[in-house]
Structure 1
């Protein structure tokens, strides 16, 4: 029974990786068109992947990270980002902070400050308390 479950999870992981690759191409296209906010929205759609597979989570983080690092205008970001994305964005900001990479941490802290102003402390609590949907 366990081997069957692992096989189904592996098939699911391959399907998720394929979707992430498609999303990555779309994001790169948006970034080339100088649309970083749309790229971030696209990156956050369907996140986190519905899997425990670390390959999927890492692949999705790379896509989200690329979009986060492209954001320059935080006013534009928060004027057009739907509140439904706030909690998931916060999760990815904490993942970025955990990398220890200076440019990533700097960008994540800039966005974190503005996101906390916009969404409140509840956003932080929800992202830390949600252990089911990890990024």
Structure 2
């Protein structure tokens, strides 16, 4: 009936690895380079050639959400807002449709809210249009996932 409790195998587990306050170095790619977010030159090249939707997908796929490097997050925020502001109002629906992954839509919504925190000239009106279009397509779910997520953009 009673199990053998004299076993001490459970004491060999390192419980400190599960502590979220442990210090970790910046994320390192398989190549040995520090992860810094989306490539500014590549995004700018796509924007200059008129491939705004591809630039949006690329910047959202490479968002440094889990990075501790605040400079990389700030650079990614500025670059994402540059891409969002380059897409016209009549192109927004096709850009949102091209984001066929819900995770990318959630990252987009994170950057929209982040853009509201640091407004620039006429960015708030444009971001409100983005918010309206994303909400119309994906509903309240994407807003709730962003508001409850601990990884900030």
> The residue matched to 2:122 in structure 1 has which SS?
helix
Q: Contact 2:43/2:58 (CA < 8 Å) preserved in 1?
A: yes
Q: Residue 74 of structure 1 corresponds to which residue in structure 2?
A: 92
Q: Which has the higher Rg, Structure 1 or Structure 2?
A: 2
For 1:62-93, what per-residue CA distance to the aligned partner results, in whole angstroms no more than 9, with x for missing partners?
Answer: 22111111111112212322233111100000
How far apart are the structure 2 equivalents of 1:108 and 1:71?
11
Segments of structure 2 that go 5 or more residues without pairing to the other structure are 1-22
How far apart are the structure 2 equivalents of 1:44 and 1:120?
19
Greater fraction helix: 1
Map residues 21-36 of structure 1 onto 2, 5 A cutoff: 23-36=39-52
Q: Please report the RMSD computed on the Cα atoms of aligned residues, expressed in angstroms.
A: 1.9
Whether 2:137 is the aligned partner of 1:121: answer no
Q: Which has the higher contact order (CA 8 A, sep 6+)?
A: 1
More deviation in 80-89 or 122-131?
Answer: 80-89
Q: Residue 98 of structure 1 corresponds to which residue in structure 2?
A: 117
Normalised to the residue count of structure 1, the TM-score between the two structures is 0.82
